Amino acid sequence: MLAGARRVNVINTGARATGARATGITGINTGITGISDSPSSPAYRPSEALTPPRLLKIYAQLSKARLSTLVVLTAMSGVALSPLPASTPILLSTALGTALCSASANTLNQLQEIPLDAQMPRTRNRPLVRRAITPIHATAFALATGIAGPALLCAMVNPTTALLGAANIALYAGVYTPMKRRSIASTWAGAVVGGIPPVMGWTACGGVLLPDAAHHAHLFLPNLPVDLAAIDNPLAPFALFMFLYSWQFPHFNSLSYLVRGSYAAAGYPMLSVISPPKNALVSLRHALLLVPITSVLFPISGLTTWWLALSSLPPNLICIVAAWRFWRTGSEKDARVVFQHSLWYLPVMMALMMAHKQGVDWWSYLGLEDKEKPQKVEID
């Protein structure tokens, strides 16, 4: 009887041990899947199915839709300021091709930064971080858009614009993104990426990119007749590039200062983290540099008349004063002012450039031109 009781106890004890081990395994699995037997834990919810509307939303998030829209608009500014004609198919193809290139670059950027994005409140809700889409699926989307964008630009626009689009994908995903984790120079690399889209708009209209035997750099000096033969000027794409390149420093440096805590937590060696005073100084330098770019480089390249030198001074001075205060105080309040000014500065300056576009008589477009008065003929 005692032996039998011992055998029963051993069996029961083994069952309890087995149950304990099973509970341990369940606990491990619970930890992995985020499920717990605790009554205070949230209930399990299966992931939502990738329906077409939800998938389109995820694609828009991977593409950084608002950033891609800005990229397309800056490319269209190059088309709008070009003195060369552009057909509707070329205009639409440039916009769509640029959008596809931007979508690819932004998706490849997020694929490389999943662990770092998970550490920043500003980015931890991105699709790849919250596992709304698999990395393989996102990679396929990046490859599809990265091939379709340059292919469309090459077939419908021209090879030069397609090459610029492909180069921008490579620079953003292959140079800027890895450099963000290693060097403060990533900000300058990112500024190069941001300066290329308006140049794509210029080349989409057939404008030359570099001087050659037929196209020399021509200076459109004030109070001199405009040489229409030199309107396709290699200085023009350089002016477009420099404008977007310099604008990004007050815009990004002020923003990075406001979120410097997140960058520090994720381990990004941003200038706003390593040296906030230098970060503000760089912002001020480029706010100052925008004055000769808009007041001299644009008119002298033939993109605009010299009236832009006068009308661009008020917005430039407003931004310079804000950048100077940011540099002097280093406060988040002044950084926020610089960032807010950068948001309206870009569309305002582009509107002024269009208003003073070389060779465009807006009064005639609006029907407000002076009508030729009939001359009186005296009859003897």
215 pLDDT band, cuts 50/70/90, is: confident
Is the CB of residue 274 less than 8 Å from the CB of residue 281? Answer: no
Q: What angle do CA 370, 222, 362 make, to 5 degrees?
A: 30
Is the CB of residue 105 less than 8 Å from the CB of residue 172? Answer: yes
Q: Cα–Cα distance between 220 and 207 in angstroms, integer?
A: 17
Per-residue pLDDT tens for 295-334?
A: 999 999 999 999 999 999 999 999 999 999 999 999 999 9
Residue 101 CB-density burial (10 A; 0-12 exposed, 13-18 middle, 19+ buried): buried
Question: What does the H/E/C string look like for 269-309?
Answer: CCHHHHCHHHHHHHHHHHHHHHHHHHHHHHHHHCCECCHHH
pTM of the model: 0.82
Q: Cα–Cα distance between 166 and 100 in angstroms, integer?
A: 10
1 pLDDT band, cuts 50/70/90, is: very low
In Å, how far are 1, 4, 153 from 10, measured between CA atoms? 14, 10, 77
CA 204, 205, 209, 215: dihedral to nearest 10 degrees? Answer: 160
Helix axes 313-329 and 235-258, enclosed angle (nearest 10): 40
Nearest to 322 by CA among 301, 336, 312: 336
pLDDT at 183: 93
Nearest to 79 by CA among 98, 64, 66: 98
Amino acid of residue 95: A
Tokens of 151: 């292919």
Tokens of 205: 């209209």
Tokens of 73: 């608009």
Per-residue pLDDT tens for 67-95?
A: 999 999 999 999 999 988 889 999 999 99
- The pLDDT > 90 percentage for the chain reads 68
Is the CB of residue 53 less than 8 Å from the CB of residue 60? Answer: no
